[in-house]
Amino acid sequence: MPTPRRTQVAIIGAGPSGLLLGHLLHRAGVDNVILERRSAEYVLGRIRAGVLEQTTVDLLEETGLGARMRREGLVHDGVELSFGGARHRIDFVALTGKRVTVYGQTEVTHDLMDARRAFGGETVYEALDVALHDFDGVTPRVTWHDARGEHVLDCDFIAGCDGYHGVSRAGVPAASIETYERVYRFGWLGILSDTPPVSPELIYSNHARGFALCSMRSPTRSRYYIQCSIDEHVDQWSDDAFWDELRRRLDPHAAETMVIGPSIEKSIAPLRSFVAEPMRFGRLFLAGDAAHIVPPTGAKGLNLAVADVRYLANALIEALAERSNAGIDHYSERCLRRVWKAERFSWWFTSLTHRFPETGAIGQKLQRAELDYLVSSHAASTAMAENYVGLPFEDS
């Protein structure tokens, strides 16, 4: 067996959760190593989230990651809901005093990678067969192999930041974990195109043919989604077929003014609501998609991951620097309070905007009634807005 190396925190996964945790720990002088199954190029090639809550923006700014986001991020004061052939604006600033920032997850990941490279943080890419050992004791260990051979890493703590399909949650004994899951019978067909966005703010559309979302990455790059059947394959959708279907699901003005062009990325994402409880197992802590998944309708996935990592970094720093276990003992309970509120909002907003054929004609009528109420009631609009812009952190 190779000679074991040692670090304080072994982080599994170099997505936004793992990279941000490594960044926050490094800033506090906590040594950490990240193990990532894929290459850096592969990680950057995944097109994911687009909307950052104010709390996420503030954390990135406070920790030296805000320069490019300030330059290139698009600050939005509201969103539009499209139904019945018309658009209705939800004014975040008037209702909550807060905004959101459109800045793609790819860019956040890029900034995190650049920061890690600048401080010389170690990320092992293409680390294969990562395995977690003895995290229920006091000497956790991680093993893997790569092009250089077999590796052993001893550590004080392991952070499972390896997403829904990762090895960390899978390594927890079934008797120690409870999971809650709802799989939706549809997916999101997403397209990225170098075309100007159809509207300066996002448009969420409830239409008899199905949900559609108009988003963006910059003034010259758009991101669009349409609800599709989960058993469809992306190869079944030509660009022309996508643009035709998208325009049929939007109000006449958007449909007529939309600039279309060739897709530079096109993929189908499944939708699910998923939570694993608890999020801590001895010296193993789950964060981000490794512990929970939300349907992307509420733009919560990435923001929830950031909130977990903020709590986890503070807890591990307290345990390692101040020898206090208060933070790690409360980590799971503190994260799950926020997680379940985001799960509820994401489920509610998905239920309100998507087609559910099994609910029949009355289902559409009830959705329309709730949408009419939502846009005409200050209380209902405020409730939607304060969840969308992000609930405050609970540090008690």
Residues at the contact surface with ligand PHB, assessed by CB under 6 A: 49-51, 202, 215, 223, 296-297, 299
Give residue 123's region: left, alpha or beta (phi > 0; psi -120 to 50).
beta
Q: Which does 167 bind (CB under 5 to 8 A by kind): ligand PHB, ligand FAS, none?
A: ligand FAS
Q: Is the Cβ of residue 186 or residue 375 nearer to ligand FAS in the bound state?
A: 186
Q: Which residue has the tokens 């604006």?
A: 89
Instruction: Give catalytic status of residue 98 as yes or no.
Output: no
Pick from ligand PHB, ligand FAS, none: which does 223 bind, CB < 5 to 8 A by kind? Answer: ligand PHB
Q: Active site residue: 16, 300, 331, 354, which one?
A: 300
Sign, Cα dihedral of 260, 265, 271, 276:
negative
The encoded tokens of residue 179 equal: 């999971």
Binding at 316: pick from ligand PHB, ligand FAS, none (beta carbon under 5-8 Å per type): none
CA distance 351 to 293: 16
Q: What span, in angstroms and rounded, lies between the C-alpha atoms of 374 and 82?
A: 12
Per-residue tokens: 239: 């660009």
Q: Can you give the binding site for ligand FAS, defined by CB under 6 A?
A: 12-18, 35-38, 43, 48-50, 105, 127, 130, 161-163, 165-167, 269, 288-289, 296, 299-302, 305
- Paired sense of beta strands 157-160 and 9-12, if any: parallel
Decide if 76 is catalytic: yes
Q: Cβ of residue 50: shortest distance to ligand PHB, in angstroms?
A: 2
Angle between helices 378-389 and 326-353 (to 10 degrees): 130
CB of 192 to ligand PHB, least distance (A): 9
CB of 112 to ligand FAS, least distance (A): 10
Choose the one of ligand FAS, ligand PHB, none that binds residue 38, judging by a C-beta under 5 to 8 angstroms depending on kind.
ligand FAS
- 3-state secondary structure at position 367: helix
Amino acid at 142: V
Mark whether 388 is an active-site residue.
Answer: yes
By beta-carbon proximity to ligand PHB, the closer residue of 218 and 314 is: 218
Residue pair 48/169 in contact (Cβ under 8 Å)? The answer is no
In the bound state with ligand FAS, the residue whose beta carbon lies nearer, of 127 and 246, is 127
278 assigned to active site? no
Instruction: Check if 224 is active-site.
Output: no
For 7, residues 6+ apart whose C-beta sits below 8 A from its C-beta are 31, 32, 33, 153, 154, 155
Round to whole Å and give the CA distance between 77 and 92: 5
**Are the C-beta atoms of 95 and 386 separated by less than 8 Å?**
yes
**Residue sitting closest to ligand PHB (CB):** 50
Say which entry of ligand FAS, ligand PHB, none residue 36 contacts (CB below 5 to 8 A, set by partner kind).
Answer: ligand FAS
Q: What is the largest CA-CA distance in the chain?
A: 67
Q: Which one from 140, 197, 295, 296 is the annotated catalytic residue? A: 296
Per the residue annotation, which of 76, 207, 292, 354 is the catalytic one? 76
Compute the least distance from the CB of residue 323 to ligand FAS, in Å.
28
Residue (of 47, 63, 44) closest to 55 by Cα position: 63
Cβ 47 to ligand PHB shortest distance, Å? 7
Is the Cβ of residue 49 or residue 275 nearer to ligand PHB in the bound state? 49
- 288 contacts which partner out of ligand PHB, ligand FAS, none, CB within 5 to 8 A by kind? ligand FAS
- Which listed residue (103, 184, 204, 311) is catalytic? 204
Residue at 134: amino acid letter:
D
Question: What amino acid is encoded at 117 in this protein?
Answer: R
Indicate which residues carry an active-site annotation. Answer: 76, 204, 296, 300, 388
